[in-house]
Chains A and B, each alone.
Chain A
């Protein structure tokens, strides 16, 4: 099969050249710069990177939920099943949201209405997107709660969000996101606010449901452990850009960009010799208000970049099948 052909058949979501900027007190800031990635059918793509690198903005752009009027998509396209979401009418987009793309946020409380029962909120999702009556919607809600592993769903369905633990709330949010069997689930740090044992439960649940429904998942996290355990492919973001993307096994075995290498070696690991000096990435993430056009990792790379590399972005290059990296010659380790 030709490469181009493969892309057509098994790509569910194709983000191309996505750029986003925000209008702030300090003027225009560019949060995303030409972001490219694909999510394949039935697979999980991980978006990883440090705070502020643009992960959530990417998710919000796909859902067309950027805060208005500050946030704006300035260029690019987001093809979902061959249709550019950016061209859909607000009504068309509302149909896609919830029905075809489900979203799970970091803080479950933000996704739930504190003054309405769980059952009310779940039923609404069914009523909004499916041609069924209130009674059936309610029954489906109970069934869905059961599917996401909530004990005594017929009782819980009458409860309010604050009566549930953090882990159970996140299960409810997952139930809402998956209610209409979406083709794509976007999960933005779905377990960051949870304890590790509950995180393990939730990741397990997501994987099981994904298999059952055959959905694809875009998983946003800053935890490389979570990436390693759940994702087929990974996109590493830095200062609004994708600097490297590859199949997970390949990325961990053969990280090429200096930033990816730094990230991987700086995490404390259970199997590392205790008390040894951890690798670090010196300095910190650049501020959005003074971003350069060229290599943005330069100040932290430990290598003096000539002016042309700071002024001009090096293109993404495919170094091996499906492994792309921003080709700044001083940040590559081939």
Chain B
């Protein structure tokens, strides 16, 4: 990791949402969507964030692009604190987000050309007469014909719409792209086209990616680092290959084992873990995973403070007394 210049450093990040109840809509509790998350992302790297629905992936992503303000903790972008401050213009340009549903994230009443020009206009980056040239350039970068500029998003397929979403994110020449489930809504044959495009753009433009996906196979293919989230916390983080070959936390192991392998000759014993992800509103007192699986040593974890412990270079795991 030392080889990479540090681009993002997140330390002890917490995002808690108030939970309201009663007739007065008073805050009756809080939802710990992101709880004590720390990670470092080097320039040019891809960090893949995996975990089950509701574990806080999107909330973490939105916090990084400042769509959500953290409750506490720090986010440094190029050594500058961005949490709690008004976003500087250069940060707004440097960090862009691509959303899961290409249909919903594009304004259906604007032509593709207008969609791509909008950020250029807002940030007054490109002279008016040069904007259409930049649009063509962007379309080319994502593999769409120049003629696409005059058409509307609904005239495109899902995969093409996702390319438009990526082109829009690239308009401001950002350094960091936050990709929230960019291929989940796409069919497999189209998914691979978009993943190839993302890998291509990264090597051409030196982009850094924070990639969220629930499909571990997708993440493993494109990420340098994998972070596994469970109920608001990162339970394990490390080099992608290392996480896959040598998972330490019981949850990471279960997650890997739950992925169906497209090879009928490999009959293996799946580790079936019971239960669902618990609610972040009233999380278990002890280890959230131990609680779910009814671990015999769970009582030991109640009241404990969990810390990340590094077991080999860059590979850390949330230390829990019973499962590691």
Residues of A at the B interface (CB closer than 8 Å) are: 50-51, 165-168, 195-201, 203-204, 222-229, 248-249, 252-253, 262-264, 266-272, 274-282, 284-285
Q: How far is the CB of A95 from chain B (nearest CB, A)?
A: 35
Contacts of B23 in A (CB 8 A): none
B87 close to chain A: CB less than 8 A: no
Cβ of A224 and Cβ of B262 under 8 Å apart?
yes
Task: Name the prevailing secondary structure of the B interface residues.
Answer: helix
Cβ of B187 and Cβ of A222 under 8 Å apart?
yes
B196 close to chain A: CB less than 8 A: yes
Cβ of A270 and Cβ of B195 under 8 Å apart?
no
Contact A196/B192 with A225-B261, A274-B241 known, Cβ cut-off 8 Å: no
B190 close to chain A: CB less than 8 A: yes
| 7 A-B pairs closest in CB distance | A225-B260, A281-B189, A278-B192, A195-B52, A268-B221, A266-B192, A200-B258
List 27 A-B pairs, Cβ < 8 Å: A165-B276, A166-B276, A195-B276, A195-B277, A199-B260, A200-B258, A200-B270, A201-B272, A203-B260, A224-B188, A224-B262, A225-B260, A228-B260, A229-B261, A252-B264, A253-B265, A266-B192, A267-B262, A268-B195, A268-B215, A270-B216, A271-B261, A274-B220, A278-B195, A280-B193, A281-B189, A284-B159
In chain B between 47 and 91, which residues have their CB closer than 8 angstroms to a CB of chain A?
52-53
Q: How far is the CB of A267 from chain B (nearest CB, A)?
A: 5
Partner of B260, one of A229, A268, A277, A282: A229
Cβ of A266 and Cβ of B265 under 8 Å apart?
no
Cβ of A268 and Cβ of B220 under 8 Å apart?
yes
Tell me the nearest residue of chain A to B219, going by C-beta.
Answer: A268
Partner of B196, one of A51, A198, A222, A278: A278
Partner of A284, one of B52, B188, B190, B196: B190
A270 to B274, CA, bound (A): 23
Cβ of B221 and Cβ of A275 under 8 Å apart?
yes
B164 close to chain A: CB less than 8 A: no
A226 to B190, CA, bound (A): 19
Contact string, B203-220, partner A, CB cutoff 8 A, digits 1/0?
Answer: 000000000001111101
Partner of A228, one of B188, B191, B263, B272: B263
Cβ of B265 and Cβ of A249 under 8 Å apart?
yes
Partner of A196, one of B157, B190, B255, B264: B255
Partner of A195, one of B53, B240, B260, B274: B53
Q: How far is the CB of B276 from chain A (nearest CB, A)?
A: 4
Cβ of B261 and Cβ of A50 under 8 Å apart?
no
Cβ of B190 and Cβ of A197 under 8 Å apart?
no
8 other A-B residue contacts (CB within 8 Å) besides A225-B260, A226-B260, A278-B192: A167-B276, A195-B276, A227-B262, A248-B264, A263-B188, A266-B188, A267-B188, A272-B221
Q: How far is the CB of B144 from chain A (nearest CB, A)?
A: 13
Contacts of A204 in B (CB 8 A): 270, 272
Cβ of B258 and Cβ of A199 under 8 Å apart?
yes
Contact A228/B258 with A268-B192, A268-B217, A284-B190 known, Cβ cut-off 8 Å: no
B244 close to chain A: CB less than 8 A: yes
Cβ of B263 and Cβ of A280 under 8 Å apart?
no
Tell me the nearest residue of chain A to B160, going by C-beta.
Answer: A284
Cβ of A196 and Cβ of B196 under 8 Å apart?
no
Tell me the nearest residue of chain A to B256, going by C-beta.
Answer: A270
Instruction: Count residues of chain B with CB under 8 A from any CB of chain A.
Output: 45
Cβ of B214 and Cβ of A196 under 8 Å apart?
yes
A197 to B253, CA, bound (A): 11
Contact A279/B192 with A50-B187, A252-B263 known, Cβ cut-off 8 Å: yes
Q: How far is the CB of B200 from chain A (nearest CB, A)?
A: 8
Q: How far is the CB of B324 from chain A (nearest CB, A)?
A: 19
Cβ of A267 and Cβ of B192 under 8 Å apart?
yes
Contacts of B258 in A (CB 8 A): 196-197, 199-200
B222 close to chain A: CB less than 8 A: yes
Q: How far is the CB of A227 from chain B (nearest CB, A)?
A: 7
Partner of A274, one of B222, B262, B264, B272: B222
B254 close to chain A: CB less than 8 A: yes
A276 to B191, CA, bound (A): 14
Contacts of B193 in A (CB 8 A): 280, 282
Q: How far is the CB of B65 from chain A (nearest CB, A)?
A: 25
Q: How far is the CB of A196 from chain B (nearest CB, A)?
A: 4
Partner of B264, one of A51, A166, A228, A263: A228
B148 close to chain A: CB less than 8 A: no
In chain B between 150 and 194, which residues have their CB closer than 8 angstroms to a CB of chain A?
157, 159-160, 187-193
Contacts of B157 in A (CB 8 A): 284
Contacts of B260 in A (CB 8 A): 199-200, 203, 223, 225-226, 228-229
A204, A224, A253, A274, most chain B CB atoms within 10 A: A274
Partner of B262, one of A249, A264, A277, A284: A264
Contact string, B257-284, partner A, CB cutoff 8 A, digits 1/0?
Answer: 1111111110000101110110000000
A266 to B216, CA, bound (A): 15
Contacts of A224 in B (CB 8 A): 188, 262
Cβ of A285 and Cβ of B220 under 8 Å apart?
no
Contacts of B126 in A (CB 8 A): none
Cβ of A266 and Cβ of B264 under 8 Å apart?
no
B188, B214, B277, most chain A CB atoms within 10 A: B188
Q: How far is the CB of A143 from chain B (nearest CB, A)?
A: 20
